[in-house]
Structures are given as C-alpha cells and as structure tokens.
Amino acid sequence: ERLLRTESTIAMLVDEINVLKATQNNSLGYINAANSPYNAIGDSTTDNTNAIQSALNAASASGGGVVLLPAGNYYVAGVLQIPSDTTLKGVWQSPPMSWGDGSSIKGTTLLAVSTSSPFIYMAGDNAVIEGISIFYPNQVISSTPTPYPFTIQGNGFNLAVKNVLLVNSYQGIDFATYQCARHYIDGVYGQPLQIGIQIDQCYDIGRIRQVHFWPFWTQDSFIEAFQGSNAITFLFYRSDWEVVEDVFSWGYEYGMYFTGSSAGSTNGQFSNINFDNVDVGIVFNNTQQYGAIFSNLNIANAGNGNRHIGILGVSGGSSHAIIRGASFWGSINQCVDWDNSGYIMISDSFFQPTGSENPSAAVGIYAGRAMIRGNYFEDNIPSGVAVDIGSNTDRVMVVDNEL
C-alpha cells in the first residue's frame, strides 16, 4: 500500500514538473495557455476566447496534448471547442466546490456568458475537460432563470469530463444530441438548474460516477422552487449497458428519468444511487427489455414538490426495472406507483414513507407484472396499506415480506 501511494505521488509530481516545463517546451505535450503566444489572462474581464482556442488548436495540430489553464478567472465571451485527442485542464485534482466570481481567485474558473450555443463543444474522439469550475456570472436568481444552452456538449467517442464544477449551469452535460459512445463522466459537482446530464445514441458502454448535484450556487427559494418543479438530474434515452455509480442529487423534480428516442431506450447497471428531497425519485417510461438494474438505492423527500413518489412507472410505456436493496423514507406519499406495461422486481428493501398529503399504499402495482419479495414495511405507513394490486395487472407475486 505504501509503495502504491509513493508511485501515485511520484506520478503527480512528474505531471506537475512537466506542466512547469511547458513554459519553455511544448514538445512535452503540455501547453500553458497563459504563456506566449496565447497569453490567456485570468483577470475576470479580458476576453480569453481566442487565447484558449488557439492553444487548443495548437495542441491538436501537434497530434494532441494538454492545454493547461493556471488558477484564475478566465472570462470567455464566445464558446470553445476541444478538438480530438486534446485535454483542457485546470488545477483541480478532485471535484471542486469553489469557483472564482471576479472578486477572488479560487482554482481555475471559466466565466461563461454566451447564450448562442453550448459553451464547450467536445469536437472529436478522446476530447477531455478536467479540473475546472464553470460559472455563469450573468445567471439570475429568479423564478425564471436565464435558459442558457448546455454547458458541455459532446460529439465523439471516449470523451471524458473529470473533476468539473458546473456552478450554475442551466443545462449541464449533453451527451445525447450526438453519439458519445464510451463516455466517461467522473467527479462532476454543481447545481445545474434544469437538466444535469442527458444521454442518447450511446451504442457502447458509457460510464458515470461520482456525481453530486446540490445547491452549491444558492439555496434561494426562487431557485429551489424552479428546480423542484422543472429539473431532471439524469435523463436517459438510448444507451447500451450504461454504468452509473455513486451519484447524488438534492432538490430536483426528477432524480432519474428513463424514456425513449428515435434511437431507442436504455439498459444498464446503477449502484449507490441517492436522491434526496426529490419530488419523484425515478421515472420509468421506457427501457430496453434487458432492464435497468439498481442496487443500493436511496430515495427520500423533505417536502419538495407535490407528488412525492419514489418510483413511478408511467402508463403507456414499457420498462423493465430490477431493484435490490432500496430505502424509501421521509415525506413520500407512495414509494412505488407502477402503471407501466413492463415489469418491476423489488427485493431486500426498506419502506418507511411518512407523507401525509394523500398517502397511498407504500407499493401500488396497477399494470404490467411485478415481483415484491423479501422487503420490510414499517408498521406506521400513513395509508395503512403496504401493497395494493390493481385489477389491470398481468402477473404479480408478493412473497416473504414483513408487512
């Protein structure tokens, strides 16, 4: 273990030394965008669009490389494109929770203002953005925040977003408009106001991990109300064997939403999933027949929204959901409301809803098929009903539960 720590420390030091050497020698694969001839200035006011883009283009023209942005607040009036095989890298080595707002410098911050198109366009295979906070200084605290385009949009395979803070993006990461197979999202924090991450047209396994969407920017009541009735943390259209692990969001209308597009729908594996104070934890409209498989799922509500549902199977859709080891608690009126023509299997789970506004059965199965097995239902369920089975269901098994 000590040897592994030593090797990791040496690797970090070598990386830092190479970045420092990049002040004189770009052949090492590093370009410091603050140096000549690019001369990016992190003073919050100088427009750095051309300086940063020129450095990215130069790295790409050399076969790829890393463009370093030292600590500073880099105002960008336009938009940026990260070419193939090129990384735009700030100073953060772990997911940041701080950003520069013009009055102070905290790590590497990009100040985004353009409303015309996505702020950062990842324009080719192996494009990476890492170690950067992105802040919209003109975003307003209002019941109707400014609807900026997506902060990051991908178009290529093996794209990566790592250790990035989306301070107050209106829409966060778009890996749906274009194919982004084998995408890798790791260590993304922030407060996207309407959509956190959306995925579509992923025909080879994408991976999302260590995402934490929480009110880093503001807990103002206007913004909380807007998010609680308009925002989606994760929106999945078509993705083949998506892998999602260790994610959290707070205060959204929907934690996770599965639906379809012209490309199809999603199947995958989802572990250590946590949604707090969400109106609806997970919506199942459509998935692939191979299913969305969840393990270690927590859904809670502290009063946000007006439906207060843990898992919602939408009527008219066809989803296959497998849930193992879930916990439902707090101000939830119904832990599972299933009116979908597909099936849900839920086991080894804990149900403790305390919602007092129109409480329903903890688990309601009204269409499709279901297996409810080996779960614990708290004694004091507000509705007094643990499981309700409707007349329009196909096949339902309820076995080995403590009711």
28-32, 37-41, 62-66, 237-241: which range is least confident on average? 28-32
- Residues 9, 47: Cα–Cα separation, whole Å: 36
Q: Is the predicted pLDDT of residue 11 greater than 60, yes or no?
A: no
Q: What is the pLDDT of residues 190-231, one digit of tens each?
A: 999 999 999 999 999 999 999 999 999 999 999 999 999 999
Amino acid letter at 211?
V
99-103, 117-121, 122-126, 154-158: which range is least confident on average? 99-103
Question: Looking at residue 4, what is its pLDDT?
Answer: 47
Question: Looking at residue 358, what is its pLDDT?
Answer: 76
Question: Looking at residue 21, what is its pLDDT?
Answer: 52
Q: Is the predicted pLDDT of residue 5 greater than 60, yes or no?
A: no
- Residues 210, 187: Cα–Cα separation, whole Å: 5
Question: Looking at residue 25, what is its pLDDT?
Answer: 47
Q: Is beta strand 128-135 parallel, antiparallel or unpaired with respect to 160-166? A: parallel
- Residues 14, 148: Cα–Cα separation, whole Å: 39
Helix, coil or strand: residue 338: strand
pLDDT band at 24 (very low <50, low <70, confident <90, very high): very low
Question: Looking at residue 103, what is its pLDDT?
Answer: 79
- Residues 180, 132: Cα–Cα separation, whole Å: 21
Q: What is the pLDDT of residues 245-288, one digit of tens each?
A: 999 999 999 999 999 999 999 999 999 999 999 999 999 999 99
Helix, coil or strand: residue 283: strand
The proportion of the chain whose per-residue pLDDT surpasses 90, expressed as a percent, equals 89
pLDDT band at 14 (very low <50, low <70, confident <90, very high): low
Q: Is the predicted pLDDT of residue 367 greater than 60, yes or no?
A: yes
Q: What is the pLDDT of residues 310-353, one digit of tens each?
A: 999 999 999 999 999 999 999 999 999 999 999 999 999 999 99
Q: What value does the mean pLDDT take over residues 22-45?
A: 83
- Residues 218, 221: Cα–Cα separation, whole Å: 9
pLDDT band at 359 (very low <50, low <70, confident <90, very high): confident
CB count in 10 Å sphere of residue 2: 6
- Determine the length of the chain: 403
pTM of this prediction?
0.93
Question: Looking at residue 101, what is its pLDDT?
Answer: 84
- Residues 295, 326: Cα–Cα separation, whole Å: 7
Distances in Å between the alpha carbon of 18 and those of 27, 29, 66, 204? 10, 9, 11, 34
- Residues 244, 246: Cα–Cα separation, whole Å: 7
- Residues 130, 184: Cα–Cα separation, whole Å: 12
Q: What value does the mean pLDDT take over residues 86-112?
A: 93
Q: What value does the mean pLDDT take over residues 364-379?
A: 97
Listed as own residue / partner, the contacts of 228-233 with beta carbons closer than 8 Å and 24 or more positions apart are: 228/252, 228/253, 228/279, 228/304, 228/305, 229/253, 229/279, 229/305, 230/193, 230/194, 231/192, 231/193, 231/194, 231/195, 231/196, 232/194, 232/195, 232/196, 232/198, 232/257, 233/196, 233/197, 233/275, 233/278
Q: What is the dihedral of CA 337, 341, 343, 344, to 10 degrees?
A: -10
Q: What value does the mean pLDDT take over residues 67-85?
A: 98
Question: Looking at residue 15, what is its pLDDT?
Answer: 58
Q: Is the predicted pLDDT of residue 141 greater than 60, yes or no?
A: yes
Q: What value does the mean pLDDT take over residues 101-118?
A: 93
